[in-house]
Amino acid sequence: MQIKFTKMQALNNDFIIINNINYNITFTKNIIQNLSNRYTGIGFDQLLILDVPKKNNIDFHYRIFNANGNEVEQCGNGARCLALYLKKKKLIKKNTIYISTNNRILILKIMDNNLICVNMGKPLFLPKDIPFITDTIQENYRILFKNKYIYFNIVSIGNPHCVITVKNISTFPVNLIGSFIENHIVFPKKINVNFMEIINNKHIKLRVFERDIGETNACGSGACATVAVGIKKNILSNKVRVTLLGGDLNINWNGKNNNLFMFGTAHHVYDGVINI
């Protein structure tokens, strides 16, 4: 069967988008893994599947799959790509779009020069929201690694994140520590691991070891989660520039029960057809 797809990227984080309203295909792990292969398939960090809305007042529903075929709950960079895709393909005329994921509703606003604002909803900090196995709720948590404690915070922004503050992300062993924490027994559904270097209270550098993927060039939800932790701890301003390997995002959050907003660009790469 031939299917049409669109390749998109945001901060060098790449996606393919398939309008499944036209096909109604069940995307198995095997199909996704074949599509994601960068030598024999299309190649991507994540697959975004557009589907019919499941709730009133929602324009579309979409699902997110990692390259290994596992479904995940959230993707900030992918949400921006999806907004631009909907506009480019003339699937929607308005500039404010309501999208549902498997666990929350996102509001996407298309602005000038491919800039898109995503209302990511409210950050959640309780262990049950991750999930994270612990006996007590603490301001900071710790895990023992090779006779030394690693201190971290937890937050969900639709998907789970562990945030670690480091002095220098250029030299920090991101892949070693990221893999260790992602697969630790205290995170039964695994976790994304974010490494933050604070430049000042309005600017941070960030590297992200994504669950089931490894380190990527950028992670929109990781940027949102990290800034949310920094603001909650009163070490970051309400408006923060986040520098990732692939470029910059701007995150705004007024704390407590307010929604968090992410600002960044998205770009169309090409359209294609592939057999599955």
Exposure on the CB side of residue 244, measured as CA atoms within 13 A: 28
Backbone φ, ψ for residue 138 (5° rounding): -130, 160
Contact 159, 171 (CB under 8 A): no
Q: How far is CA 6 from CA 18, 242, 269, 273, in A?
A: 7, 27, 8, 9
> What residue type is assigned to position 52 of the chain?
V
Q: Where are the beta strands (DSSP E) in 1-114?
A: 2-10, 13-19, 46-51, 60-66, 71-72, 96-100, 105-110
Q: How far is CA 228 from CA 53, 104, 109, 152, in A?
A: 29, 17, 21, 13
| Active site residue ranges | 75, 219
> What residue type is assigned to position 39 of the chain?
Y
> What residue type is assigned to position 90 of the chain?
K
Residue tagged 């975004």 (tokens): 48
CA distance 266 to 114: 6
Q: Say how many C-beta atoms besides its own lie within 10 A of residue 15's C-beta.
A: 25
Q: Say how many C-beta atoms besides its own lie within 10 A of residue 112's C-beta.
A: 5
Label residue 112 left, alpha or beta by phi (over 0 means left) and psi (-120 to 50 means alpha): beta
Q: What tokens were used for 74?
A: 């959230």
CA torsion 58-63-64-67 (nearest 10°) is: -160
Contact 79, 8 (CB under 8 A): no
